[in-house]
Each structure stands twice: as structure tokens, then as C-alpha cells.
């Protein structure tokens, strides 16, 4: 019998990926990588720190002066990757945020994921705001805990879920409340004080993601939860401060009780089995925190406030540094963004699944580095296009 020649296997995944990409293109949801071009109305560099000369000088000094410090950490934090810059940053952060301890991770996504998958066990219940970031959602999906989604910023919905979770709680079970202080796509604030009090009434632990509040809200930009977290010695609150937004660098600082940080160091797989962030990155975050609490930080915050007031007066909204310009339909949002880009404004369309169906939008992100005239030009151009 003639032997049958094996046919080369055509990977099924190629068909699957091509089909998925075609469907995204049809829906107006295809994403691609585009370099920055035009006036920055889209990054999270709210205070202009990413371009700040002090931070540039810090990087140059750090890399050129101390040649004993490696460029790359070359190992996990638990091995030789733990460098003086990481240690100094964590001490400074604990001091600035008034926390018993701080832990620095490579980015905010990883930090949220690590917190949730490490701290929340199978007898726990997680109650989370429906608008929390993808990094929290992925952590929740990967954790063994039961999870309950609560309507956005709805204290009554949180209370109902807390009441039920408290009734069902086992002796070895914990309740966790997960929220953001400023929501990343709508720019609205959580009713934070009330949320903290509510969680405390039911004996729940809480994670407050301060990604879009760090540098801006709270005393000298320490975050919206700072006062309450510090007053309670972070007993039931963990705060997460991403360092790649208003701080202009990268990474994330977890502020928490010492036992929680110790446990993370011993059990958080994304922390343990990963190379430490570059030492220069930690040194830069340290410089950014010093800038944040300096008089210059205050000047940047008040410049940002002026830009927020200007946009609120012209376009309405909540007065936040994140302004959702809701369009609705995906293709219309992409079209509006590209018309603004053609006129020199770097603003991007945000579409589902990042935001709910039917709420595609431009996410206008304000910065202390913008001038009044820059923003006036943008507002006029935007109005001209949508009213044409
Ligand atoms: C609310 C929130 N949490 C966490 C993150 C993740 O932070 P990072 O960009 O440092 O990974 C983001 C970033 O978009 C965010 O908006």
C-alpha cells in the first residue's frame, strides 16, 4: 500500500485570529499601535512629570555616577535583584503615605493582580465596583474567592452585598471591597469616605486603587484615601499607587500593614517569579514622590486645576482631569478622534470592551503641562467638528 504523505498542519489558530481581527474591523473595534503625534490630550502624565527636568537629571545621575549599580536588576527581588534603590523607595513611600509598609512592583496591572490572587482565598468574598480596572477583574477571575459585582458607586448596592456576605461569612473567611478612588474612563470619584465607613461597619478589608488620584488628590497628592488610611494605620485598607501616571515614571506602590507586605513577599507569584524593576526606575519614582510633595508639586496641581476648571466651564462634566467625551457608536468615535488628530490633537477613541457597549468615547486627559491657549484651541476645534 502506498504510504500516505502527512499533510502539513495548517494551524487552526491562524484562521481563528484572522477571523477575530476581521470581525473587530467590521465592528470598528480593531486596535493598532500609533506613535504619539500632536498635542498630548491622551496620556496620563497629569502633572507633566514625565517630561520634568528633575526626573531626567535623576536618571542621568543615577546611571552615570554609580556604576556599581546594575542597569538591569538581573534577578528577582528575593534573589540578587533587590537593590538599594528599591529598598530606599519603599522606605520613602511608607513614610510619605503614612503606611506601616510599602512594596514596589513593576506596574499597576501586576500589582492589582498579585494582591487579589495572593490575598483572597476560597472562603473569601470579593465585592467590587462594576467599573474597576481590567487588572482587578483579571485578578478576581483568577482568584478562588466568591465575587459579587456592585453597581457603580452605589452605596446601597454595596451595603446589600456586604450584608449578605457578612451573613454567609465563615470563621476563616474575609470580605474584600475593591474600588478605585477616581475611575479611569469616566473620571468620576468614588464616595470614598462613605465606602470606607461602610466596609468598616461590616468588618471588610478594602483595596483602594489610587491610580488616577495619586499625585493629585489628598494632602500633597498622597491620594484620596490617605487621611482615613493613615488614621487607621492601614488596619483594613490597602492602597495602590501606580507610578506611571501622574508620577510620570512606571511601577506601582502597594501601601499596607507590615504583615500584608510580608505575606506578599512570601506568596505573591508575580512578585516572586519575576525580575525586579530596573533600579533606575525605583530611583526615578523616589524623585517623583519628592517632587509630588514639594511646592513645585503644588504648583503643578493648581495648574492642572485651572485646566480642569477651563474644560468644565466650556464642556460641562464633573471637573475631573479625565473627561469622557461620549460619542456612542464605535466607528463614530474613531472618526471623531481621527479628525481631531488631523488637526494636531492627540486624542484617542476608547471603545468596548474597555467601556460599556454604546458608550464609545474620546478620553480627554488633562495635564498641568497644557496651556490655556492650547486647550482653548482644542475646545473650539472639537465644537466646530461636532456642530458641523
Ligand atoms: C485604575 C487603574 N489601575 C491600574 C492600572 C494599571 O497600572 P499600570 O499602567 O501601572 O500597569 C491602570 C492603568 O491603566 C488603571 O487605570
pLDDT, tens digit, 9 for 90 and up, residues 145-157:
999 999 999 999 9
Q: How far apart are CA 220 and CA 17, in angstroms?
A: 47
Q: Which of 111, 128, 133 to mutate to test the pocket of ligand 1 (most atoms within 8 A of CB)?
A: 133
Is 370 a residue whose pLDDT tops 80? yes
211 CA to centre of ligand 1 in angstroms = 6
Q: For ligand 1, pick from 109, 134, 251 the residue to mutate: most ligand atoms within 8 Å of CB.
A: 109
Measured by CA distance, the residue closest to atom 16 of ligand 1 is: 184
Domains of the chain and CATH, by start:
53-292 (3.40.640.10), 295-387 (3.90.1150.10)
Ligand 1 pocket: which of 106, 134, 242, 284 to mutate (most atoms <8 Å of CB)? 242
Task: Decide if pLDDT at 56 tops 70.
Answer: yes
**Cα(104) to centroid of ligand 1, in Å?**
14
- Per-residue pLDDT, 1: 60
Q: Indicate the pLDDT class of residue 68, thresholds 50, 70 and 90.
A: confident
Residue of 303, 298, 304 whose CA lies nearest to 321: 304
> pTM above 0.75?
yes
Cell numbers placing 285: 519614582
Handedness of CA 126, 268, 248, 89 (dihedral sign): positive
Alpha-carbon gap, residue 252 to 243, rounded angstroms: 5
State the distance from the centre of ligand 1 to the C-alpha of 241, rounded, in angstroms: 9
Over 70: is that where the pLDDT of 240 sits? yes
Tell me the catalytic residues.
Answer: 44, 133, 180, 184, 209, 212, 245
User: Could you identify the atom of ligand 1 that is nearest to the CA of residue 110?
Assistant: 11
CA of 209 to the centre of ligand 1 (A): 9
The pLDDT of residue 137 is above 90? yes
Predicted confidence at residue 14, as pLDDT, reads 82
Pocket of ligand 1 (CB under 6 A): 107-109, 112, 133, 135, 180, 184, 209, 211, 242, 244, 252
Dist. CA 340–CA 24, nearest whole Å: 23
pLDDT of residue 46 exceeding 80: yes
The SS3 of residue 42 is coil
- Sign of the CA dihedral 326, 331, 332, 337? positive
In whole angstroms, give the CA distance from residue 97 to residue 237. 12
Amino acid at each position: 500500500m502506498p504510504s500516505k504523505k502527512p499533510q502539513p498542519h495548517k494551524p487552526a489558530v491562524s484562521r481563528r485570529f484572522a477571523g477575530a481581527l476581521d470581525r473587530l474591523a467590521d465592528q470598528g473595534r480593531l486596535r493598532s499601535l500609533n506613535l504619539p503625534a500632536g498635542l498630548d490630550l491622551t496620556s496620563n502624565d497629569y502633572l507633566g512629570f514625565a517630561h520634568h527636568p528633575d526626573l531626567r537629571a535623576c536618571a542621568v545621575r543615577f546611571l552615570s555616577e554609580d556604576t556599581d549599580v546594575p542597569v538591569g536588576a538581573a534577578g528577582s527581588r528575593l534573589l540578587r535583584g533587590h537593590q538599594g534603590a528599591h529598598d530606599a523607595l519603599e522606605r520613602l513611600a511608607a513614610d510619605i503615605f503614612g503606611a506601616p509598609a510599602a512594596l514596589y512592583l513593576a506596574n499597576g496591572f501586576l500589582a492589582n493582580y498579585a494582591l487579589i490572587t495572593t490575598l483572597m482565598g476560597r472562603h473569601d468574598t470579593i465585592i467590587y465596583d462594576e467599573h474597576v480596572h481590567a487588572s482587578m477583574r483579571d485578578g478576581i477571575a483568577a482568584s478562588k474567592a466568591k465575587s459579587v459585582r456592585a453597581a457603580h458607586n452605589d452605596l446601597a448596592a454595596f451595603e446589600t452585598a456586604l450584608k449578605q456576605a457578612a451573613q454567609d461569612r465563615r470563621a476563616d473567611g474575609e470580605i474584600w471591597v475593591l474600588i478605585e478612588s477616581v475611575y479611569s474612563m469616566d473620571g468620576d470619584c468614588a464616595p470614598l469616605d462613605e465606602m470606607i465607613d461602610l466596609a468598616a461597619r461590616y468588618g471588610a478589608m478594602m483595596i483602594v486603587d489610587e491610580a488616577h488620584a495619586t499625585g493629585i488628590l489628598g494632602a500633597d497628592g498622597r491620594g484620596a484615601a490617605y487621611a482615613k488610611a493613615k488614621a487607621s494605620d492601614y488596619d483594613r485598607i490597602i492602597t495602590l499607587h501606580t507610578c506611571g501616571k501622574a508620577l510620570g515614571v512606571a511601577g506601582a506602590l502597594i501601601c499596607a500593614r507590615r504583615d500584608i507586605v510580608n505575606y506578599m513577599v512570601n506568596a505573591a507569584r508575580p512578585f516572586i517569579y519575576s525580575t525586579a524593576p530596573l533600579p533606575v526606575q525605583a530611583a526615578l519614582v523616589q524623585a517623583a514622590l519628592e517632587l509630588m510633595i514639594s511646592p513645585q508639586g503644588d504648583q503643578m496641581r493648581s495648574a492642572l486645576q485651572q485646566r480642569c476648571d477651563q474644560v468644565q466651564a466650556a464642556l460641562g462634566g464633573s471637573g475631573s482631569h479625565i473627561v469622557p467625551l461620549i460619542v456612542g457608536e464605535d466607528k463614530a468615535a474613531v472618526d471623531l478622534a481621527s479628525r481631531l488628530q488631523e488637526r494636531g490633537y492627540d486624542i484617542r477613541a476608547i471603545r468596548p470592551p474597555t467601556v460599556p457597549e454604546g458608550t464609545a468615547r474620546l478620553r480627554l486627559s488633562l495635564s498641568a503641562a497644557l496651556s490655556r491657549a492650547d486647550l482653548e484651541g482644542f475646545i473650539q476645534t472639537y465644537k466646530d467638528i461636532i456642530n458641523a
